[in-house]
Amino acid sequence: MLYRLKQFISVGVLAGLAVLTGCVSAGASPGKSAGAGGFPENVVYHVNDSSIARLALNNVKNHLSANPQAHIVVVTHGKGVDFLLEGAKDQQGNPFDITAQELKAKGVEFDVCNNTLVGRKIDPKTVIPEAKIVPSGVAEISKLQSLDHYSYVKP
């Protein structure tokens, strides 16, 4: 009798785990990358100062080397939008748009804060084509973290 009870409990536990595994798998966003454990790896990189833009872009490159399937969004606002403007170069004179093009080809998204553009009187037409303008950089970061479950990285 005790043996039968243990057997019944074991089968119930295994069945419960199978159901839970199916629920977790079903909750994964379609089109998103699967990292360790089958869960998508979605990451938002926060750049609010273009002086660290080259570091941030190198972090993104390294991240994609470790997990080419990661879905990465670089959100900029304040002085962080400067590296995504036409003609922007780093301290060594290397243009940022080439790196942005390479990363965009690997699925990286670049978001530029419209509030910053308006506040700093920057013409939206000067934003490089690889980037898209979002209403608010800070709100975009919040949405990605809270609603879309993105991990937050601040280089």
Domain ranges of the chain: 1-28, 31-153
H or E element that contains 109: strand 109-113
What percentage of the chain exceeds 90 in pLDDT?
A: 74
With 90 as the cut, is the pLDDT of residue 67 above it? yes
Superfamily of the domain at 31-153: DsrEFH-like (3.40.1260.10)
With 70 as the cut, is the pLDDT of residue 24 above it? no
Q: Show the 3-state SS of 97-132.
A: HHHHHHHHHCCCEEEEEHHHHHHCCCCHHHECCCEE
Q: Whole-prediction pTM value?
A: 0.77
End-to-end CA distance of the chain: 61
DSSP class of residue 40 equals: B
What percentage of the chain exceeds 70 in pLDDT?
A: 75
Structure tokens belonging to residue 117: 């553009």
